[in-house]
């Protein structure tokens, strides 16, 4: 792709229909790209999780996006069809990878204090074990270095993470031979030429891992912008896992205005827009990323 072309993507997982938090994610990534002329906005279906991904949910998500007026460029991209590409990248990283026989039970027993910043830290149990174990029952981890990985997020500002002390060695390939999000997203962003990633702040701490992989694979990292995720009054993130209700399929203009308001924009009342296309025209012309609140999460009452 031409270097001066802005390319972004929205990458939902088909484990359920879009909820309001998903609509916010789609809206932010869409407008962050559509503000530029000659830009590309891509739709990627992250269906690597074979147990949770459902074909009917994929169709539902596509229909929801179309109904809300999202228009993507190029054919829809499916991660389930990319196993060969992930394996090739995995093989290129072989010098940094080792098998791990740790089960979830073992890791839970070794888990550090729940007050730590980044989930549990892998304790390196299998890092120096001889490779005589049964590889058929192993996942594969990449050795995390102790380098301080820093980047400047376009919304949240400077963010740093030491992979060795904050995360530990992380999995690239599971015991069932499926590849993880961390590897797949890096390979696909590079392959599709994505140079602008706009996503929720719940993925902010994933970024240093992806920068690490991009560096090892020789990929140019995209620019990142992490907007705040929406949480309920009890502090839970809107998500499919938390069984958040499906996004409103009736009054789309009013729902989209709520999404824009959450993102710090100042749209007029819904009565100002006769059609959904009119609202999108306004949103694209008046989009200002600098107005997005520089917080990791925030509550938006009465959005559903």
Write the DSSP assignment of 240-297 as a string of letters.
TTTTPPBPPSS-HHHHHHHHHHHTT-----GGG-SSHHHHHHHHHHH--GGGS-SSSE
Q: What is the pLDDT of residue 301?
A: 53
Are 196 and 63 members of one domain? yes
Q: Is residue 210, in this structure, part of any structural domain at all?
A: no
pTM: 0.90
- One domain for residues 163 and 117: yes
Residues 120 and 26 in one domain: no
Mean pLDDT of 28-54: 90
Same domain, 148 and 94: yes
Asked if residue 66 is part of any domain, the answer here is yes
Do residues 143 and 224 share a domain?
no
The verdict on residue 251 lying in a domain is yes
Q: Report the domain count for the chain.
A: 2
Same domain, 95 and 128: yes
Choice between 108 and 30, residue whose per-residue pLDDT is larger = 30
Helix, strand, coil percentages in the chain from 3-state DSSP, rounded to 5: 40, 20, 45
pLDDT tens for residues 61-86? Answer: 999 999 999 999 999 999 999 999 99
105 and 20 inside one domain: no
* Residue 146 sits in the same domain as residue 122: yes
At 15, the pLDDT band (50, 70, 90 cuts) reads confident
Whether 78 and 97 map to the same domain: the answer is no
Q: Is residue 36 part of a domain?
A: yes
CB 241 within 8 A of CB 231: no
With beta carbons less than 8 A apart as the criterion, state whether 15 and 49 touch: yes
Residues in a beta bridge with 196: 223
Is there a domain that residue 211 lies in? no
Return the CATH number at 118.
3.90.800.10
Same domain, 224 and 77: yes
Q: Which domain holds residue 31?
A: 7-82+191-205+216-299
Same domain, 155 and 195: no
Residue 167 lies in a domain: yes
What's the CA gap between 188 and 210, in Å, rounded? 12
CATH number at residue 237: 3.40.50.620
Same domain, 74 and 90: no
The percent of residues above 70 in pLDDT, for the chain, comes to: 87
């Amino acid at each position: 792709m031409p270097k001066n072309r802005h390319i972004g993507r929205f990458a939902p997982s088909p484990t359920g229909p879009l909820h309001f938090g998903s609509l916010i994610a789609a809206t932010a990534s869409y407008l962050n790209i559509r503000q530029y002329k000659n830009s590309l906005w891509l739709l990627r279906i992250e269906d690597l999780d074979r147990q949770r991904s459902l074909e009917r949910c994929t169709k539902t998500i596509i229909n929801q996006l179309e109904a809300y007026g999202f228009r993507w460029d190029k054919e829809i991209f499916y991660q389930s069809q990319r196993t060969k590409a992930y394996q090739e990248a995995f093989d290129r990283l072989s010098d940094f990878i080792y098998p791990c026989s740790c089960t979830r039970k073992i890791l839970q027993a070794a888990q550090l204090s729940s007050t730590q910043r980044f989930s549990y830290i892998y304790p390196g149990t299998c890092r120096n074990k001889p490779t005589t174990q049964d590889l058929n029952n192993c996942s594969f981890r990449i050795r995390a270095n102790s380098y301080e990985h820093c980047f400047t997020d376009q919304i949240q500002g400077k963010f740093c993470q030491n992979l060795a002390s904050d995360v530990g060695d992380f999995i690239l390939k599971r015991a069932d031979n499926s590849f993880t999000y961390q590897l797949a997203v890096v390979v696909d962003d590079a392959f599709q030429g994505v140079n602008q990633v706009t996503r929720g702040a719940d993925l902010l701490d994933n970024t240093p891992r992806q920068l690490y992989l991009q560096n090892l694979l020789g990929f140019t990292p995209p620019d990142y912008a992490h907007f705040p995720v929406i949480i309920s009054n009890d502090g839970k993130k809107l998500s499919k896992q938390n069984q958040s209700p499906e996004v409103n399929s009736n009054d789309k203009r009013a729902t989209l205005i709520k999404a824009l308001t959450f993102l710090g924009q100042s749209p007029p009342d819904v009565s100002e827009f006769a059609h959904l296309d009119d609202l999108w025209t306004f949103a694209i012309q008046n989009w200002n990323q600098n107005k997005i609140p520089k917080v990791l999460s925030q509550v938006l009452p009465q959005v559903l």
